[in-house]
Amino acid sequence: MADFLYPEGASRIVVSCSDRRLSAYLDSEFNDGKTVFMRTAGADVTNIADTLVKLVHTDTEGKNHAIRQVVVLTHTDMGDVTKGCGWAGRLAVEEDAKIHGKELDSHFIGDAQINQFIENGYTSREQIEMGNKNVQKKALGSRIGSSSVGYSTDTIDTSGIPTEDELEHVLVITRPSVARYSDMAKRLNKNHEDMTTIGKFNAYYSQVGTLEEALVDARLFTGALGIQDVRVLAQDQHDNEIMRSWAEQLHRQDFMKSVKLTLVTTRGNDSNKAKLKT
């Protein structure tokens, strides 16, 4: 069973926030067929560090997999900060509660992460969104700085991305791959006419290598952002059984109790839409 899904010749990893507005932008600006995409809330390298390090360092024994560069893309909205990064917005709430000793019903972001933003003086949502790329660069340096792989970070301004979309928001959980988001949307929509259509701008992606990484995103997106529709998508046939086990374990989580969960494998017709009981 393939451990990861990178193709021969993949030379770059792009890590971005899960945000629904970024997929079309990543397809058009970064998908060159040789880029492996990873997505997690806030483009938070700490959450996906195990997989990222593995992708960078794995010796693929002659398979020509040679990552040369890692690019991490955070985002903000220069026109309206409340339309920026949902993860940053949540971090601002939790950071404020910590600084002022307020109680919150639930926490979605780790204490060490919150401390890092406090130490850097990033306390307002705006400061968090703009400072996030510096925090992520530091995290990259500590994880892959000693390797020969180059790394950089940048912030995307979503105010330039028109996102007229009235569709219900969906979380897609899938693994790192070179696939286009437009193609993933086609696969998610095929034989699922009874469900919310995956349009250009309504799907958040948790594109990670382990169930543990996916659980952090799933908890945050269902809890802090209120998403009620989660799809687990197998990237290829080698991925079907792994995604089935992820879906089964997600199904057992308390926070998923009232959330619709669907597994989408690569198998034909009927089993392609094998739904888990919710």
- Work out how close the CB of 206 gets to Zn ion at its nearest, in angstroms, rounded to a whole number: 12
Q: Which is nearer to Zn ion, 18 or 262 (CB)?
A: 18
- Work out how close the CB of 18 gets to Zn ion at its nearest, in angstroms, rounded to a whole number: 7
- Work out how close the CB of 72 gets to Zn ion at its nearest, in angstroms, rounded to a whole number: 12
Q: In the complex, which residues of this chain contact Zn ion (CB under 5 A)?
A: 17, 19, 85, 87
Nearest to 239, CA basis, from 56, 5, 65, 34: 5
Integer Cα distance of 190 and 212 in angstroms: 28
Q: Which is nearer to Zn ion, 42 or 176 (CB)?
A: 42
Give me 78's structure tokens: 């220069």
Residue for token digits 């739904």? 275
Nearest to 214, CA basis, from 256, 184, 182, 179: 256
- Work out how close the CB of 86 gets to Zn ion at its nearest, in angstroms, rounded to a whole number: 5
Q: Which is nearer to Zn ion, 20 or 231 (CB)?
A: 20
- Work out how close the CB of 12 gets to Zn ion at its nearest, in angstroms, rounded to a whole number: 21
Helix extents (H) in 31-163? 45-57, 86-99, 111-119, 125-144
The alpha carbon of 250 is separated from its chain's Cα centroid by a whole number of angstroms, namely 16
Give me 54's structure tokens: 């593995």
- Work out how close the CB of 126 gets to Zn ion at its nearest, in angstroms, rounded to a whole number: 14
Q: Which is nearer to Zn ion, 19 or 95 (CB)?
A: 19
42 contact partners, CB below 8 Å, separation of at least 6: 17, 74, 85, 87, 88, 91, 132
Contact between 169 and 225 under an 8 Å Cβ cutoff? The reply is: yes
Q: Which is nearer to Zn ion, 17 or 52 (CB)?
A: 17
Q: Which is nearer to Zn ion, 90 or 231 (CB)?
A: 90
Question: What DSSP string describes 15-39?
Answer: EE---TTHHHHHHHHH-SSSEEEEE
